[in-house]
Amino acid sequence: MDNIAGTKSGLTWAVHLSVIFLVLLWLFPTIGLFVSSFRTADQISATGWWKALFPTEQNLVVRAAEPSAQVLRDGVYMIEGNVFEDFSVGVIAHWGVSSREISAYQPGETAELRDGSSVTLEADGSYRVESAEEMSGSRGQRIFVTATTPPEFTLGNYEFMLFDPQNSEGMTKAFFSTLTVTIPATIIPILIAAFAAYALAWMEFPGRALLIACVVGLLVVPLQLALIPLLKFHNAIGIGKGYLGVWLAHTGFGLPLAIYLLRNYMVGLPRDIIENAKVDGATDFQIFVKIILPLSFPALASFAIFQFLWTWNDLLVAMVFLIDSSGRTTVMTRQIVEMLGTRGGDWEILATAAFISMAVPIVVFFALQRYLVRGLLAGSVK
């Protein structure tokens, strides 16, 4: 449409480029943490994560084996081995035998040494020192190696954080705690809200407008106000801190949005269907269960996703209503905050923990985005 009046193609390019720039800017921080969660602690502290995506060059000083390891073969004294005995660093780009010329030779070339011996080094790190005479001394020949390391990633962090029984900071327990909080806290408010929304949308009774206004008002009441009174209430009725308390709290806090979203959706359903059903003698309960609920599926799904994301990602409600001093029921968000305090610089742990907690919401987000967007639009545009 903008092209009708012959908009310059330069502008189109500018649009493409700026969108690419913005998207990259938005993704960059997340990718950083994601990449870090696949690196070892040493890698993370050695280089920035953005360098992990490309091969790195490393300069090393290694030593060939001691002369005592030499063998006599075909009249030549030989020492064979690999400079990467303990761990492979990568592929050797070039090497040298003197600290002044560390890149004098290519892999596969042979360096002549002053004492008459020669060194050959292959790209994979295997070397051969040859000499016509018996070699002496107690230390092996120094070799200066420049190795290119291909990008290297590990699943070790995830194994450590999820499956290591020795790890007291493992996330498995917290993961299931979060799941235990989330599922009932998502399902129960939907049911309560659906009935209320039907009444507010399709039943005539005095005070209906006032009730809707109340729901709209309660939408914005900060839940901070509810913390102390409800904690006192839970203690008074003997629930204390625990799953039951957090389920009830999430149910209460989620209801205004649930009722509001569902009512807005149900009001838009065609009047004819409902009135026909009434004429045919259906009761309100039957109409609700057989007609309204199936038709409202998109709105129910929207709210379910909202409530799921909100309860899964919640920190405050869980801290106040769930997690007692024993910490047995800690949820993932809380555990991450704690680890930020105790394991401040251990990014491999923090990144992995954060991604374990983010994985499920991100999957839900990408899978059910359609409903999420629809819910957002129903909830605020107008």
Partner 1 sequence: MHPALQGLITIVIGVGGCVGYFYFSNFLLDRFLLPARAFTAAETAARRRLGLIFLFALPTLLILALYLSGTGLSGIASGWGLFWLLVVLALIFGLWRLTGFVFATGETTAGHNISHANMIRPWLFLLPAILALGLYLTYPVFETLRLSLIHRNGGVGIGNYTFMFGEQKFWEAMRNNMLWLVVVPAMSTAFGLIVAQLTDRLSWGNIAKMLVFMPMAISMVGASVIWKLVYESRPAEVEQIGVLNALWVGMGGEPQQWLTLPVWNNFFLMVVLIWIQTGFAMVILSAALRGIPEETVEAAIVDGAGPFQIFFKIKVPQIMSTIVVVWTTITLVVLKVFDIVFTMTNGQWGTQVLANYMYDKMFRANDWGTGSAAAMVIMLLVTPILVWNVRNARKEMR
Instruction: End-to-end CA distance of the chain: give it in Å, rounded.
Output: 26
Site for partner 1 in 280-299 (CB under 8 A): 283-285, 288
Site for partner 1 in 185-214 (CB under 8 A): 187-188, 191-193, 195-196, 198-200, 203, 205, 208-209, 211-214
Helices within 121-270 (DSSP H only):
156-163, 172-202, 208-219, 227-236, 243-267
Write the single-letter amino acid at 333: T
Site for partner 1 in 156-185 (CB under 8 A): 176-177, 179-180, 183-184
Q: Which stretch binds partner 1 (CB under 8 A): 18-26, 93-101, 128-136, 143-151?
A: 18-26
Binding mask 301-320 for partner 1 (x = CB under 8 A): --------x--xxxxx--xx
Answer for which of 104, 227, 282, 291 binds partner 1 (CB under 8 A) is 227
Residue 367 makes contact with partner 1 by CB under 8 A? no
Nearer to partner 1, 132 or 337 (CB): 337
Q: Which residues contact 178 (CB under 8 A, 6 or more apart)?
A: 312, 331, 332, 333, 357
Give the shortest CB-184-to-partner 1 separation in angstroms. 5
Q: Which residues contact 378 (CB under 8 A, 6 or more apart)?
A: 261, 264, 265, 299, 302
Contact criterion met (CB below 8 Å) for 104 and 98: yes
Site for partner 1 in 239-258 (CB under 8 A): 243-244, 247-249, 251-253, 255-256
Alpha-carbon span 303 to 368, nearest angstrom = 11
Give the shortest CB-86-to-partner 1 separation in angstroms. 24
Alpha-carbon span 176 to 294, nearest angstrom = 31
Binding mask 319-348 for partner 1 (x = CB under 8 A): xx--------x---x--xx--x------x-
Answer for which of 72, 75, 114, 225 binds partner 1 (CB under 8 A) is 225
Residue 53 makes contact with partner 1 by CB under 8 A? no
For 165, list phi and psi in degrees, rounded to 5: -65, -20
Site for partner 1 in 258-277 (CB under 8 A): 259
Residue 233 makes contact with partner 1 by CB under 8 A? yes
Residue 50 makes contact with partner 1 by CB under 8 A? yes
Alpha-carbon span 232 to 134, nearest angstrom = 87
Answer for which of 42, 71, 99, 220 binds partner 1 (CB under 8 A) is 220
Nearer to partner 1, 155 or 373 (CB): 373
Residue 23 makes contact with partner 1 by CB under 8 A? yes
CA pseudo-torsion sign 327, 329, 333, 335: positive
Site for partner 1 in 106-135 (CB under 8 A): none
Give the shortest CB-83-to-partner 1 separation in angstroms. 25
Give the shortest CB-327-to-partner 1 separation in angstroms. 14
Alpha-carbon span 145 to 153, nearest angstrom = 23
Length of the chain: 382
- Per-residue DSSP letter, 223: G
Alpha-carbon span 226 to 129, nearest angstrom = 77
Answer for which of 45, 59, 98, 136 binds partner 1 (CB under 8 A) is 45
Alpha-carbon span 238 to 29, nearest angstrom = 44
